[in-house]
A and B are shown apart, each in its own frame.
Chain A
Amino acid sequence: MTARYTELTRHAVVRLVPLAVMIAVQALLAQAYYERGTSWHFLLHTTFGLGLGLSVAALVSTRLRRPVAALPFAAAGEAVSVLPDLLFVLARVTHMRWMDVFVGHIRLHLVPGPLVVAVGLFAVGGWAWWLASPAARPRAGATLASAGLLVTVLAFAAARPLPTSLTQVDGPAWWCGS
């Protein structure tokens, strides 16, 4: 009984504590973005980073032929994705074009339907990881992850260039009808 209880406790700590920490971090991040009027950026970069991490987890799981934990990959993907925003707030470093090295942090704003791409990758990445790891269907997981990543690459290829002149900036007409 004691051994069983200990095992259950260990299982709960190992599985639930990281998940609770992850959820708490999301809440803190969401609050920080919200306070700065940038909830749109939160949705964009967190879902994209999580989706990327989960897709990689699916591919790694397939490659290793064994289940892998999703959380470390998802957390790593998110950390890289939001790093420029953390640098901005914590180190007062403005965004720069080279920050696309952080999984396309700048360019992601300019792909067709940025939020659709980001949330879509999140959904597909999570599904792919589930197929590859818990469901033990690595081929299906890898195929789905690859498809999601391919669509993402195509979306980035179709991104419009960052404006360099006000004449290239869409005016306010589309958002308020003036």
Chain B
Amino acid sequence: MVAAQLTVVALLAGYLLGLDEPLTPDSGLRQLDLLYLDEQVPGVTGVPGQATLVVVPGDLSDPACESSLRDALSRRGGPTGLDLAFGLVVLARDLQQVGEVPPTVQVRADPDGTLARSVELSPAQDGCHPGYVLVDPDGRVLYRTYDPDWDSHAQEQGILLAEVAR
């Protein structure tokens, strides 16, 4: 029993030491799933009257980031995508990099990354990790997280946005 447990601990320790991210991702706040904020952030607003996911999608010249955004947009309204009842806003440094989007998605320019930084997320140009904030129908930011796989976490976002909409 103890040998098995020590093996598990050793494996865990090895795994943790081999992680390519800090032992406390996003200072422990990554995907915390708790609406811990309640503040207005100038320039960061949702779709009026809707609980909204505002995405900072990362460097869209990076194929991985661009692909994530495309996936998220293509799934929107589908069984594995964000429900159309919620708003979706993309903050982009370069609008041309986003390209065409469905009419249910708003793209807003953030050319110097000011808005991304105002929600403590990485501005897109440095190729770092994407994340998002959730904004209530009155325009208040209630949640922020870094999430490198944000495009495939619609279930989580939907649960949080339903709470945001209340």
A-side residues, CB < 8 A to B, are 36-38, 40-41, 43, 47, 70, 88-89, 92, 94-97, 99, 106, 109-110, 113-116, 119, 122-123, 126-127, 130, 134, 162-166, 169-172, 174-176, 178
A162 touches B36 (CB 8 A): yes
State A175–B26 Cα separation when bound (angstroms): 8
Residues of B within 8 A of A116 (CB): 23
B22 touches A174 (CB 8 A): yes
B33 touches A95 (CB 8 A): yes
- A–B complex contacts, Cβ < 8 Å, 30 sampled: A36-B31, A43-B12, A47-B12, A70-B1, A88-B159, A94-B163, A95-B34, A97-B34, A106-B34, A109-B24, A109-B32, A114-B24, A115-B23, A119-B9, A119-B13, A119-B16, A122-B8, A122-B12, A126-B2, A130-B5, A163-B36, A165-B39, A169-B27, A169-B120, A169-B144, A170-B27, A172-B121, A172-B129, A172-B146, A178-B122
B45 to chain A, nearest CB (A): 15
Residues of B within 8 A of A97 (CB): 34
B128 touches A176 (CB 8 A): yes
Choose from B16, B128, B152 the contact partner of A172 (Cβ within 8 Å).
B128
B160 touches A94 (CB 8 A): yes
State A40–B35 Cα separation when bound (angstroms): 19
B112 CB–A CB distance under 8 Å: no
Main secondary structure of the interface of A (DSSP, over half): helix
State A126–B119 Cα separation when bound (angstroms): 42
State A134–B8 Cα separation when bound (angstroms): 19
A127 touches B2 (CB 8 A): yes
Q: Please report the total number of B residues contacting A with Cβ < 8 Å.
A: 54
B34 touches A175 (CB 8 A): no
Contact with A along B110-145 (1 / 0, CB 8 A): 000000011111110010110000000000010010
B120 touches A178 (CB 8 A): no
State A95–B28 Cα separation when bound (angstroms): 14
B-side residues, CB < 8 A to A, are 1-2, 5-6, 8-9, 12-13, 15-16, 21-39, 41, 117-123, 126, 128-129, 141, 144, 146-149, 152-153, 155-156, 159-160, 162-163
B144 touches A166 (CB 8 A): yes
Residues of A within 8 A of B28 (CB): 109-110, 114
Residues of B within 8 A of A130 (CB): 1-2, 5
State A154–B142 Cα separation when bound (angstroms): 30
State A123–B146 Cα separation when bound (angstroms): 30
Residues of B within 8 A of A109 (CB): 24, 28-29, 32
B122 touches A176 (CB 8 A): yes
Residues A166 and B141 in contact in the complex (CB < 8 Å), given A37-B148, A94-B159, A175-B146: yes
Residues of A within 8 A of B13 (CB): 119
- A122 nearest CB neighbor, chain B only: B9
Residues A123 and B5 in contact in the complex (CB < 8 Å), given A94-B34, A114-B23, A114-B28: yes
